[in-house]
Amino acid sequence: MGRRTKISYLINFIALLVVYAIVFTLIETESISRYWSSLIILICINIIMATSLNFSTGFLGQLVLGHAGFMAIGAYTAATIGIALSGAGFPALPAIIISVFSGGVLAAFSGIIIGIPALRLRGDYLAIMTLAFGEIVRIIINNLEFTGGAKGFRGIPRLMNFTYVYFFMIACVAFLMLLARSRHGRAIISIRENEIAAEAVGISSTRYKVTGFALSAMIGGIGGGLFAFQMGFLQPTMFGFMKSVDILVMVVLGGMGSMTGSVIAAIVFTWLPEALREFNEYRMVAYAVLLIVMMIVRPQGLFGTREFGFSKLMRKIFNKTKKIDTESLKGGDS
């Protein structure tokens, strides 16, 4: 790792801590309402969902229309285990970690099961299959006893707070970003670019596709688990096809293949519908129009495949001032 990368990691890390400190104080001092603090938690969860979907759709290049299915698996698993653990007197944090990770593991497992056959298919067929998968998960939950069926799953301890969800989010996003930059990540991107060429240089496309898909499902399941502890109540309709589409919209608008793009899109598109709530009747129409216009005007998304970083931003600002300095020096000489 070069010095420059180390410094940029450090800068990004510090910047994330600063953001955390600011939001934390805002919430603790009650400068912002409960409504806003719960919206911020929802934003963090959506960031996890969007980045995890971006991993399979943007990096691996497989259009997935059933990401809410993985979220649902994670959420219901985490909720079931979480109720048992907090009933047994576990403190909040270990209870969350254990149940959320079990949710993630089960989601990853179902990702492997659906992934092995599904990834043999290409393009639209994979999308259709994941769509069917998402619907099946919803219908199964609707029909099971312990999930409460259509009436919903009640009595989940509401253990979530900003600190937990923020660090979970950072861990998930950092994991995905580092993975995407690693050797394995490059192999995954090469499959997106050209699967046949990737296989020709010795990359096992099936193995990478299934692993990538399962990891994406796992992080999605983790997001679902956090969601369960935030809402305290789950219903199968929360994880319908529309939810999968919502997440996909974030990924596409942020730019497929740009993790930071997904982060920003998740922030904007969780907040925007809320901000437009005053125009309740028209907000969904506006939202849809925005989506269509965006696709026509800028189909690669806000960021394309570029990443945004605090260190890059600083370097840009820093370089600019430097340039101005040298220019003013030159001006002084002549």
Partner 1 sequence: MEFFLQQLINTLKVGSIYAVIAIGYTMVYGIIKLINFAHGEIMVFGSYFAFLLATYSGLPFIAILLISMILTAILGMVIEKIAYAPLRKAPRLSALITAIGMSFLLQNIMLLIFKSEPKRMPELISMRPLEIGGLIIDPITIITVGLSVLFMIILQIFIKNTKPGKAMRAVSEDKEVAVLMGINVNRIITLTFAIGSALGALGGVLYSIAFTQVYPTMGIMPGLKAFVAAVLGGIGIMPGAMLGGFLIGLVETFTKAYLSSTWSDGIVFSLLIIILLVKPSGLLGKHRKDKV
Binding site for partner 1 (CB under 8 A): 63, 117-118, 120-125, 127-129, 131-133, 135-136, 139-140, 142-143, 196, 241, 245, 248-249, 252, 256, 281-282, 284-285, 287-289, 291-292, 295-296, 299
Cβ atoms of 236 and 71 closer than 8 Å: no
For the CA atoms of 122, 125, 127, 133, the dihedral, rounded to the nearest 10 degrees, stands at: -120
Closest to partner 1 by CB, 127 or 219: 127
Distance CA 193, CA 151 (A): 44
Q: In the bound complex, what is the minimum distance in angstroms from residue 66's beta carbon to partner 1?
A: 10
Minimum CB–partner distance for residue 136 and partner 1 (Å): 5
Nearest distance from C-beta of residue 313 to partner 1, angstroms: 28
**Beta-bridge mates of residue 234:** 153
SS3 153: strand
Please give the Cα distance from 229 to 42 (Å, whole number).
11
Nearest approach, Cβ of residue 319 and partner 1 (Å): 33
Q: How far is the CB of 281 from partner 1 (least distance, A)?
A: 6
Give the nearer residue to partner 1 in terms of CB position, either 10 or 113. Answer: 113
Q: Which is nearer to partner 1, 273 or 309 (CB)?
A: 273
Q: Which residue has the tokens 């570029």?
A: 306
Closer residue to partner 1, CB minimum distance, 108 or 256: 256
Q: Residue 23 CB, nearest distance to partner 1 (Å)?
A: 31
What are phi and psi for residue 30, nearest 5 degrees? 55, 35
Residue type, 90: F
State which residue, 160 or 250, has the beta carbon closest to partner 1. Answer: 250
Reading the block at residue 174, the tokens are 């950092």
Closest CB to partner 1 among residues 54, 86: 54
Is the Cα torsion angle 209, 215, 220, 225 positive or negative in sign?
positive
